Amino acid sequence: MAKMKLIVGIGNPDEQYKETRHNVGFMFLDYLARKLGANDFEFDKKTNSLISKTKSEKTTVILAKLQMYVNKSGEAIKKLVTSYKLQATSLIVVHDDLDIPFGNSKLSFDKNSGGHKGIESIMRVLKTKKFYRLRIGTATRSLAKARQQSGKKRDKFVVSFVLSKFSKSESDQLKKIFKEGYEKLISVIK
């Protein structure tokens, strides 16, 4: 039987969120689609996602950019998993992570959400945490400083931080981060 992997990038669909830290999952999927020679992303109404398909050796790879807000990611992932008749273990979610310093990424399996609302939504809907995550670090010194402030001030900074765009030098550095993330992912895809 042919192997299949579903790689989902999570982010916010609206134009104003394009290229923001919270949408690094979408940005990575664009990179991955080019790297794997996938077809263009097309909107799939049934799963409310932009879908692209390709093959990596003997594995069919489905790339999906969810077209709903990060906090509601679970709803679309449930539809995708059901539509392609997959187990949660065939799922790889790519997302931003405020606990990992910018410049780094981690591939994890069966880990807690770490407070990421999109991941919490996925775990709640799938009723499991047994899926892969490529966590792309977005933490900076300014975020570390802000986290030491009181509740409302800290929360306001965090929201504006995740919805801010990458600087020019950070955007250049993303190429290296994506290349490393790709190398980590390939071991799971095969």
As a residue count, the chain comes to: 190
Say whether 22 is catalytic. Answer: yes
CA–CA distance, 127 with 107 (Å, rounded to integer): 20
CA–CA distance, 136 with 102 (Å, rounded to integer): 8
- Number of helices (H), then strands (E), belonging to the chain: the values are 6, 7
Residue 171 CA: distances (Å) to CA of 36, 49, 165, 175, 176: 21, 25, 9, 7, 10
Q: Which of 186, 189, 169, 165 is nearest to 24 (CA)?
A: 165
Among 22, 79, 116, 135, the active-site one is 22
Q: What is the DSSP letter of 160?
A: H
Q: Which of 121, 36, 24 is nearest to 65 (CA)?
A: 24
List, in order, residues 6 or more apart from 102 with CB less than 8 Å away. 137, 138, 139, 140, 170, 173
Distance of CA 42 to the CA centre of its chain: 18
List, by residue number, the catalytic residues.
Answer: 22
